[in-house]
Amino acid sequence: MFVELNNENFENETKTGLKLVDFYTTWCKFCINQHSVLEELSEKGFWIGKLDCDKFPKIAQEYGISGFPSFILFKDGKVKTQFAGYHTKRQLLDRLCANL
């Protein structure tokens, strides 16, 4: 399931469970290509949050996001891992499964 994140819902949406947040921009070609991979994971039942860093730069700055796409995997509100760049479905699945 995709959840569009913003200043109002970010903290509440990421505070429980395993949550993968995609920090992206609309102008980034890698981000655009990454979307279809994330959509496949979402259809498999993984929770995927998307934060447009141009619209909500404060949150991106808070987590030190400087390249796109960037990802943070939260577990019960705590950062488990943070990584950047385009990732294949297998790479993302490996990261998700390692933190279940």
Could you give the residue numbers annotated as active site? 28, 31
Burial 58-94 (b: 16+ CB within 10 A, else e): ebbeebebeebbbbbbbeeeeebeeeeeebeeeebbe
